[in-house]
C-alpha cells in the first residue's frame, strides 16, 4: 500500500492530539494509503526529539524548512501558533506537499488570502490543503449536517451558537501568547469563535452575510507566568458577541468567551427550521437533540436524544458498538481519515483553505463591526467566493 509520510510541526496540545490521530487512524479504518509518522518538528531540537519519542514519531528536527525538502514527507501538518501558519503553509504547498493547517487559518485576512491563493495554485498540480475545523467530524455534528442537508429541518430560521470556556474568569490567571494580538490574531473570537462560525456555515451549507458585534476585554493586564510581579498587556478580545444574518435569511446569534465560569468546553449550537430543529452541546458530545415535526403524531413530539454511536452514523464504522461513546480526540482521527482518503482519491478535502478564509473574513467583519459602534458589517466576498 502506498505510504504517506507526515511531518507534524508543533508538539504541544494540538500536536499531541494530532499524534494520537495519526497513530490510530490506520488501525480503525480501511485506508487507501498508509500514513507514516515520519518526522516531528519543534522549536528546539531537544524538545522535539523528546516529544517525537513520547508521541511516536520516527524522526525529529528543529528546522521546519528541512522537512519540506524530504522525499519521504507528503503531508505537512501545522499545529503551531497562528502567526506562523501562512509562511509554513504557503512554503509547503509550493514545495508540493499536502497541508493540514490548524484553525484559525491565520491571524489576518491577508495571510489567509495568501494561503488560499497558494492552495488554489497548488491544487492544479496535486497538493491538497485542509483547514482543521475538526468539530465538523464529531459524529453527532456530521449527522446534524446530513439531516439538515436532507431537508429534515425545512427552511432555516435561526442559529444560536456559543463557545464557552472559563480559564480566564479568574483575574489572576497568567498572561500568555494567546492574549497577544500579534501572536494569536484574535482572542476568544479567533480561538474558539472561529469554530462556531465554521460549524454554523457548514451545518447550514450557507454563508454569513453580515454581522453586528461587540467585543470586550475584561482584564487589561495579567501577571506574567514566569515573573508574576510583572504584567503583560492583553491586546485581544476576552469575549465576542454578535448577531448575524445568513445569505439564506436565517437570523443568528454567536458568543465566544473564556469567562463563562463553570463552562469548560461548551461548544453549543442550535438550529431551528420550519419543520424541525437540532441542538448540540459538546459537553455531551455523543448526543444530538433532534425535533422533527414530520414524524411526530399523537402528541409525541419532542426533542429526541440521538446517541450518535450507531453503526450507520458518520465515522462510526471504525469504532465500538452502540452506546460506547467517543471522546474529544476521535474527531481528529476522522479528520486524518478524510485527508488521507482525499489525497488518495485526488479529491479536495473539506474544509479547504477557501473555507478557512471565509471564516477569517467573518472574524474580520466582527472586529470591524465592533470597532464601528456595532454597525452591521457585510462579510467581504471578493469575486464569487
Site for its own copies in 186-225 (CB under 8 A): 212-214, 216, 218
Cβ 330 vs Cβ 27: under 8 Å: no
Count the site residues for its own copies by CB under 8 A.
99
How many Cβ atoms sit within 10 Å of the Cβ of residue 47? 15
In this chain, which of 96, 151, 220, 249 binds its own copies, going by CB under 8 A? 249
Collapse the DSSP code of 271 into the 3-class scheme (helix H, G, I; strand E, B; otherwise coil) and give the result.
strand
When asked if residue 19 is in the footprint of its own copies (CB under 8 A), the reply is: yes
Residues 15 and 36: their CA atoms lie apart, in Å, by 15
Cis peptide before 104 (omega within 30 of 0): yes
Cβ 20 vs Cβ 35: under 8 Å: no
Q: Is 264 exposed, middle or buried (0-12, 13-18, 19+ CB in 10 A)?
A: exposed
Interacting span for its own copies (CB under 8 A) from 58-66, 82-90, 98-106, 263-271: 263-271
Collapse the DSSP code of 114 into the 3-class scheme (helix H, G, I; strand E, B; otherwise coil) and give the result.
helix
Collapse the DSSP code of 270 into the 3-class scheme (helix H, G, I; strand E, B; otherwise coil) and give the result.
strand
Near its own copies in 52-111, by CB under 8 A = 54-56
In this chain, which of 44, 69, 264, 381 binds its own copies, going by CB under 8 A? 264
How many Cβ atoms sit within 10 Å of the Cβ of residue 320? 12
In this chain, which of 226, 300, 346, 382 binds its own copies, going by CB under 8 A? 300
In this chain, which of 222, 263, 337, 361 binds its own copies, going by CB under 8 A? 263
In this chain, which of 40, 89, 203, 252 binds its own copies, going by CB under 8 A? 252
Interacting span for its own copies (CB under 8 A) from 78-86, 156-164, 192-200, 339-347: 156-164
When asked if residue 20 is in the footprint of its own copies (CB under 8 A), the reply is: yes
Interacting span for its own copies (CB under 8 A) from 88-96, 154-162, 200-208, 224-232: 154-162
Q: Which is nearer to its own copies, 120 or 245 (CB)?
A: 245
Residues 50 and 245: their CA atoms lie apart, in Å, by 48
Q: Which is nearer to its own copies, 117 or 325 (CB)?
A: 325
Amino acid at each position: 500500500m502506498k505510504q504517506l509520510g507526515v511531518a507534524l510541526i508543533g508538539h504541544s496540545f494540538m500536536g499531541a492530539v494530532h499524534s494520537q490521530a495519526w497513530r490510530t487512524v490506520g488501525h480503525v479504518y480501511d485506508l487507501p494509503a498508509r500514513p507514516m509518522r515520519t518526522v516531528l518538528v519543534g522549536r528546539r531540537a531537544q524538545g522535539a526529539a523528546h516529544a517525537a519519542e513520547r508521541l511516536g514519531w520516527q524522526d525529529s528536527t528543529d528546522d521546519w524548512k528541512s522537512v519540506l525538502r524530504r522525499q519521504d514527507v507528503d503531508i505537512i501538518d501545522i499545529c503551531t501558533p497562528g502567526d506562523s501558519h501562512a509562511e509554513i503553509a504557503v512554503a509547503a504547498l509550493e514545495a508540493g506537499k499536502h497541508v493540514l493547517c490548524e484553525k484559525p487559518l491565520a491571524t489576518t485576512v491577508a495571510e489567509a488570502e495568501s494561503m488560499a491563493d497558494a492552495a488554489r495554485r497548488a491544487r492544479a498540480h496535486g497538493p491538497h490543503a485542509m483547514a482543521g475545523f475538526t468539530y465538523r467530524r464529531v459524529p453527532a455534528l456530521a449527522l446534524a449536517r446530513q439531516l439538515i442537508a436532507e431537508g429534515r429541518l425545512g427552511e432555516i430560521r435561526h442559529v444560536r451558537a456559543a463557545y464557552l470556556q472559563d480559564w480566564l474568569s479568574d483575574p489572576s490567571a497568567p498572561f500568555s501568547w494567546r492574549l497577544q494580538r500579534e501572536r494569536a490574531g484574535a482572542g476568544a473570537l479567533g480561538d474558539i469563535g472561529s469554530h462556531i462560525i465554521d460549524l454554523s456555515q457548514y451545518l447550514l451549507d450557507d454563508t454569513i452575510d453580515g454581522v453586528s458585534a461587540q467585543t470586550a476585554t475584561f482584564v487589561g493586564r495579567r501577571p506574567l507566568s514566569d515573573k508574576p510581579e510583572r504584567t503583560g498587556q492583553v491586546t485581544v478580545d476576552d469575549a465576542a458577541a454578535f448577531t448575524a444574518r445568513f445569505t439564506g435569511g436565517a437570523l443568528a446569534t454567536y458568543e465566544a468567551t473564556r469567562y463563562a465560569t463553570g463552562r469548560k468546553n461548551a461548544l453549543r449550537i442550535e438550529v431551528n427550521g420550519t419543520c424541525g430543529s437540532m441542538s448540540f452541546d459538546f459537553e455531551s458530545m455523543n448526543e444530538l437533540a433532534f425535533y422533527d415535526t414530520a414524524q411526530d403524531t399523537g402528541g409525541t413530539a419532542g426533542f429526541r436524544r440521538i446517541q450518535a454511536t450507531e453503526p450507520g452514523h458518520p465515522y462510526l464504522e471504525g469504532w465500538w458498538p452502540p452506546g460506547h461513546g467517543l471522546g474529544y480526540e476521535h474527531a481528529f482521527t476522522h479528520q486524518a481519515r478524510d485527508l488521507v482518503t482525499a489525497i488518495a482519491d485526488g479529491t479536495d478535502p473539506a474544509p479547504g483553505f477557501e473555507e478557512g478564509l471565509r471564516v477569517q473574513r467573518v472574524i474580520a467583519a466582527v472586529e470591524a463591526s465592533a470597532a464601528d459602534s456595532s454597525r452591521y458589517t457585510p462579510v467581504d466576498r471578493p469575486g464569487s467566493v
